[in-house]
């Protein structure tokens, strides 16, 4: 099981890269380098996991397993370079923000020039490291015995293998230390609070990364002394990698938790209101199926985007109310007056009760397909004063949710619905007798 531990760590970094690729960080360079670094590191861990190397080794072509190890090491070098480039990107973003605040173009242009210069320097260093490591591994000409890279007994081969690992370790150390110093400086400037806590957790993640990288010294010493070293990552690397990933996740989470919690609360709130409108919408849709903006949706599944689904449901209910205006029965007020004598509604429900009763009676009449002959121009669906003319979707959703509750639970509304249904049945019987 320990051999599989690198897979969740690698997947964490790959998924983090996908998150940063879609993020809206102000500095595009910062988001880009973070995405590159996490993606390359995650891919390297997936490639260097022992089961992956053994699967490649099982093909019977020994050189492929060595090439896979070299590819994974190269990805780690690229990830380290991307991490190092975060430093000038962060500084350039700070300078650009300061320039915008002061309406000064020169500092912003100078910061971008310095950023481009440091990026070129970082890429040149990466190219040098990759070239040197490739030359050293070619000179060592290693093979793979079990999980170990092995070379011949010659001193030159052992030193070449040790140098291959040492160059990568030193490059990663330089890159991590550069970002670590920048994060320590920012954590001190941020002080206590959510941002400072997040930066300190990220700093801890980089320290764990340094320990993870320092474990390569064991490979350097073994290669120089015995001509062999670990090919794929070992169990301790998985532990240190998991610690690094956990601290980085906690650091990012400390700043993302409030936004994530707000998003979850918004989703739950929209979904709850969406479900609250369901009884009213279902009755309206049964009689007036043309109101559905998405006729293909038939399964009673939770909406993937409850905010959009709630907005659509509000529009559909309003469309139904407009259609039902021509079906308002002038006797509704009399029926409601009689019903409220038996079932007096609370004072704060009186307006919603009148609207729900008119809606229920009009819906029963519309179900028969008839328009009342005595309908007066003023016989329209009443609205709760001061509630329908809302400026926000939240306000409108709250009003309709309250209307739906009254429509579904108020005894007076049920009494009016029963009277309207009886009148509809009586009218249908009379029409049948005339035929």
Selected residue with higher pLDDT from 287 and 372: 287
> Residues 21-40: what's their mean pLDDT?
71
pLDDT band at 150 (very low <50, low <70, confident <90, very high): confident
Burial class of 47 by CB neighbour count within 10 A (0 to 12, 13 to 18, 19+): buried
Distance CA 88, CA 27 (A): 11
Place of tokens 């029409």: 431
The pLDDT of residue 432: 58
Average pLDDT of the residues in 42-59: 82
Helix, coil or strand: residue 218: helix
Please give the backbone phi and psi of residue 230, each rounded to the nearest 5 degrees, phi first.
-65, 135
Among candidates 153, 173, 136, 161, which has minimal Cα distance to 221? 161
Residue with tokens 């000409």: 141
**Mean pLDDT on 157-177:** 89
* Measured CA distances, 224 to 140, 163, 298 (Å): 11, 9, 69
Q: Can you give the pTM of this predicted structure?
A: 0.55
DSSP 8-state assignment for residue 297: -
Which phi and psi (to 5°) does residue 143 adopt?
A: -120, 180
Confidence band (pLDDT; 50, 70, 90) for 264?
low
Task: Map tokens 């029926």 to a residue.
Answer: 335
Task: Return d(Cα 76, Cα 45) in angstroms, integer.
Answer: 8
For 392, which DSSP code?
Answer: S
Among the residue ranges 10-14, 174-178, 236-240, the one predicted with the least confidence is 236-240
In tens, the pLDDT along 55-91 reads 888 887 778 888 888 898 898 889 888 888 888 887 7
At 246, is the pLDDT very low, low, confident or very high (cuts 50, 70, 90)?
low
pLDDT score recorded for residue 3: 58
pLDDT grade for 128, boundaries at 50, 70 and 90: very high
């Amino acid at each position: 099981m320990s051999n599989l531990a690198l897979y969740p760590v690698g997947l964490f970094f790959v998924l983090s890269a996908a998150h940063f690729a879609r993020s809206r960080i102000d500095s595009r360079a910062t988001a880009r380098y973070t995405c590159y670094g996490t993606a390359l590191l995650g891919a390297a861990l997936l490639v260097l996991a022992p089961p992956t190397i053994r699967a490649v080794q099982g093909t019977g072509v020994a050189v492929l397993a060595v090439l896979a190890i070299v590819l994974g090491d190269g990805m780690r070098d690229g990830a380290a370079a991307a991490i190092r480039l975060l430093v000038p990107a962060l500084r350039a973003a700070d300078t650009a923000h300061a320039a915008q605040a002061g309406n000064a173009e020169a500092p912003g242009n100078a910061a971008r020039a310095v950023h481009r210069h440091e990026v070129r320097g970082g890429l040149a260093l990466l190219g040098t490291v990759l070239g040197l490591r490739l030359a050293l591994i070619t000179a060592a000409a290693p093979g793979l015995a079990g999980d170990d890279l092995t070379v011949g007994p010659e001193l030159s081969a052992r030193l070449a293998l040790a140098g291959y690992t040492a160059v990568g370790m030193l490059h990663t150390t330089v890159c991590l230390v550069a970002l670590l110093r920048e994060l320590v400086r920012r954590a001190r400037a941020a002080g206590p609070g959510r941002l400072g806590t997040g930066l300190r957790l990220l700093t801890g993640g980089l320290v764990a990364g340094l320990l993870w990288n320092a474990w390569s010294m064991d490979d350097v010493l073994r290669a120089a002394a015995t001509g062999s070293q670990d090919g794929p990552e070992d169990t301790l690397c998985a532990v240190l990698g998991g610690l690094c990933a956990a601290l980085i996740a906690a650091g990012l989470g400390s700043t993302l938790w409030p936004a994530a919690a707000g998003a979850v609360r918004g989703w739950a709130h929209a979904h709850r209101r969406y479900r609250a409108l369901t009884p009213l919408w279902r009755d309206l849709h049964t009689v007036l199926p043309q109101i559905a903006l998405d006729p293909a949706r038939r399964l009673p599944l939770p909406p993937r985007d409850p905010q959009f689904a709630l907005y659509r449901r509000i529009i559909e209910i309003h469309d139904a109310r407009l259609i039902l205006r021509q079906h308002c029965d002038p006797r509704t007020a009399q029926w409601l007056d009689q019903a409220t004598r038996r079932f007096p509604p609370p004072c704060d429900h009186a307006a919603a009760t009148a609207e729900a009763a008119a809606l229920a009676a009009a819906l029963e009449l519309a179900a028969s397909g008839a328009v009342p002959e005595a309908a007066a121009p003023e016989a329209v669906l009443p609205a709760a004063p001061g509630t329908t003319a809302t400026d926000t979707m939240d306000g409108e959703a709250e009003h309709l949710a309250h209307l739906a509750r009254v429509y579904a639970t108020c005894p007076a509304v049920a009494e009016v619905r029963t009277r309207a249904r009886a009148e509809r049945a009586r009218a249908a019987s009379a029409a049948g007798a005339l035929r």
